[in-house]
Amino acid sequence: MERVAIIGASMTQFGKREGWLSDLLAEAALDCLDDANVEPSELEHLYTSNMASGEFEGQTGIMNMLAHDLGAMPAYTQRIDQTSSSGAAGAYAAWQSVASGASDLTLLVGGEKMTHRSTGESTDVIASITHPVEYKHGVTLPSFAGLTARLYLDTYDAPRESLGKVAVKNHKNGVDNPHAQFQKEVSLEEVLESPIVADPLRLYDFCPITDGSGALLMCPESKAEEYTDDYVLLTGIAGATDTQVVHERDDPTVMGGVVESSREAYEMSGRDPDDIDVAELHDMFTILEFLQSEDLGFFEKGEGWKAVEEGVTDRDGELPINTSGGLKSKGHPLGASGVAQIYEIYQQIRGEAGPRQVEADVGLACNVGGFGNCVLTAIMEGPQ
């Protein structure tokens, strides 16, 4: 099977944005095409990852709108939704389009426009990601996070402060990311004194509601050098589901979708956890960074919190995690988040991460749909 190269990538400013989703998608698309010096008319497939433009904006058919706005016709379009992991699902779909031979040049553009709706309206849409036997009774994503955090702290004798330190670390990284929604540090005290949302988690344990978009341009490795010498290979990518009903899981501190998707991605890339130099994890809630860092095989089960306490996952640590600022400080526009994770790894491998730069030959991104209902893991490296 021929390998697939990422030859261009971009993200827009994340945060509260004016205009329509289609504006954000076009902005990211044009930046990405510029990055690779490609014209829209060259595109064969043009994929859009987005969870809910119909619900948030009352506008469907956004993938066809994007083709029109770019002048990319007759490029084939589709929209890919995998809830909060739509971005990585779109990257997997783009990978499949190239690896199957269906397209020699595929642009994926992920995005979401949410902040124009009230928090209640947005969270109503997001709650319905999970199973009605749970969310109809008020057990929504933040509730799962609180319950899981409590179970984790109790089971592994972890201090509450360790969760807060995830937020502190990721906000610190976000200061140096000009695209991040929050470019400011938070202190441990501020996290621990912020309003309670779902005990033991507080407001600063949660990512914000965000508008934004990102894009990735892919082609077969054999054609990559026609565009750039500095491409990044997507050497491993896979996804896996876990139970949709969270209370059916044997051990809710284990994310089965992370375990299984990473097992497949490691096998596909010929890499193992020790090879990973930098990782972007899905810290929609601080507790999720612990769980993923363990279920990806970086740390023993129940030891992820110690890695944060000991600075292992700091930017100057042995395995920097969320150098971009993570969802926590960068923001979480559902259809764009997984794309932005891959964009950060792409920049790190190309040595273009500026003040956030770490030493990285191989990187990993893990994008979580719902409360681990479906998870994707992607592994990237340079062409050597």
| Positions in the binding site for a copy of itself (CB under 8 A) | 1, 46, 51-52, 54-55, 58-61, 63-65, 67-68, 72-83, 89, 92-93, 95-97, 99-102, 124-125, 128-132, 238-245, 256-257, 260-261, 369-370, 373-374, 376
Report the nearest approach of a copy of itself to the CB of residue 316 (Å): 35
Report the nearest approach of a copy of itself to the CB of residue 352 (Å): 29
Which tokens sit at 228? 């750039």
For a copy of itself, the closer of residues 52 and 278 by Cβ is: 52
- C-alpha distances in Å from residue 222, one per residue of 97, 126, 203, 287: 15, 40, 47, 41
Count of Cβ atoms closer than 10 Å to residue 361 Cβ: 14
For a copy of itself, the closer of residues 141 and 319 by Cβ is: 141
Report the nearest approach of a copy of itself to the CB of residue 343 (Å): 20
Select from 337, 346, 383, 384 the least CA-distant residue to 364: 346
Report the nearest approach of a copy of itself to the CB of residue 336 (Å): 16
State the Cα–Cα distance between residues 201 and 166, nearest whole angstrom.
12
Report the nearest approach of a copy of itself to the CB of residue 212 (Å): 19
Beta-carbon contacts of 26 under 8 Å, excluding residues fewer than 6 positions away, are: 66, 69, 70
Q: Are strands 212-220 and 232-241 parallel, antiparallel or unpaired?
A: unpaired
Per-residue DSSP letters for 326-360?
A: HHHHH---HHHHHHHHHHHHHHHHHT--GGG----
For a copy of itself, the closer of residues 104 and 230 by Cβ is: 104
For a copy of itself, the closer of residues 241 and 357 by Cβ is: 241
For a copy of itself, the closer of residues 156 and 285 by Cβ is: 285
